[in-house]
């Protein structure tokens, strides 16, 4: 059975989008930074990229309900990216929200999920479905689709894209000039179909214009590689790990991570509009050097911090 899930909706409006950084640390959390997790809120959906230890508490600190989460995308099975899953699922299961959470991850995810829950004395009600990703586009609905690309981290590791689909918007002045009323005819034009109005053919390309969909790229743990560049191609926001500075380039190479300069090179080569750095080693107490290093290569850089929110 295909991993591609297709959903339907009639809502053509661009939905509000917000990115919340729940955890921005590397392998070890600090007083200021929790383990990795990023929530993309899109309308009623909450797409969680990784779920480090303490993620459900971070959601509450950031003013978000754990039940906001509808999908969990697991980049890889290192503990700092997944230890928060059991607690979050348990909290959602105990809520009044009747919801099945879809969990997506690399090959082996089903096995690891089974191992994780066998460690508890009492099995909770299963409120999740696990999908192992086997193709680039693994989910699609009317409004957006999700992609995964393999990264270079020594174990199976995926980066993710959230890509909002292009949509047609009515050219109001053109429609008013023709006198076409509100109703089903405008819906057909928005679907890209030509219509008949007063014995004339009105083409969708004349009566509408295309609004480009937004793209959010999430580059998890990896060495700088061609696939990471492909993943972040033309991203509106590129979220990238940045575990080290060039001072510790040897450690980045040893553990297959990126430096701030690597992440900036990635953004530059990918043609991304904005770069958000995250996944920082605990060794860096002052972050000015990290930001400065990245900005020598790519100017539009921000450093993420826990509970940082970005509205699009």
Find the catalytic residue in 80, 221, 236, 262.
Answer: 80
Q: Which residues contact 246 (CB under 8 A, 6 or more apart)?
A: 259, 260, 261, 293
The answer to whether 302 and 277 are in contact (CB under 8 A) is: yes
Burial 206-231 (b: 16+ CB within 10 A, else e): ebbeeeebbbbbbbbbbbbbeebbbb
| 211 strand-pairing partners | 167
Is 80 noted as a catalytic residue in this protein?
Answer: yes
The CA-atom distances, in angstroms, between 169 and each of 118, 173, 176, 208, 231 are 50, 12, 14, 5, 28
CA 228 to CA 218: how far, in whole Å? Answer: 9
Which two three-digit tokens encode residue 70? 């509808």
Q: Which residues are catalytic?
A: 80
């Amino acid at each position: 059975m295909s991993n591609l899930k297709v959903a339907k909706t009639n809502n053509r409006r661009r939905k509000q989008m917000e990115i919340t950084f729940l955890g921005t640390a590397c392998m070890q959390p600090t007083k200021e930074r929790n383990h990795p997790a990023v929530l993309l809120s899109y309308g009623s959906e909450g797409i969680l990229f990784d779920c480090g230890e303490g993620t459900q508490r971070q959601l509450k600190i950031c003013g978000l309900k754990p039940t906001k989460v509808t999908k969990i995308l697991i980049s890889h099975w290192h503990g700092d990216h997944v230890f928060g899953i059991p607690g979050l699922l348990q909290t959602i299961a105990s809520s009044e929200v009747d919801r099945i959470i879809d969990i997506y991850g690399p090959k082996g995810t089903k096995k690891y999920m089974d191992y994780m829950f066998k460690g508890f004395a009492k099995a909770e009600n299963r409120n999740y479905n696990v999908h192992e990703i086997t193709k680039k586009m693994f989910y699609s609905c009317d409004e957006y689709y999700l992609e995964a690309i393999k990264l270079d981290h020594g174990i199976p590791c995926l980066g993710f894209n959230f890509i909002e689909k292009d949509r047609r918007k009515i050219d109001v002045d053109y429609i008013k000039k023709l006198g076409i009323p509100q109703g089903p005819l405008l819906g057909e034009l928005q679907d890209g179909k030509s219509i008949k109005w007063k014995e004339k053919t009105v083409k969708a390309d004349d009566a509408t214009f295309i609004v480009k969909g937004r793209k959010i790229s999430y580059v998890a743990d990896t060495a700088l590689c061609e696939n990471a560049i492909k993943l972040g191609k033309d991203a509106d926001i590129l979220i990238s790990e940045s575990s080290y500075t060039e001072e510790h380039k040897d450690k980045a190479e040893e553990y297959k991570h990126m430096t701030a300069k690597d992440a900036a090179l990635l953004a530059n080569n990918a043609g991304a509009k904005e770069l958000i750095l995250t996944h920082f080693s605990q060794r860096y107490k002052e972050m000015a050097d990290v930001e400065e290093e990245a900005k020598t290569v790519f100017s539009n850089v921000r450093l993420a911090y826990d509970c940082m929110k970005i509205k699009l």
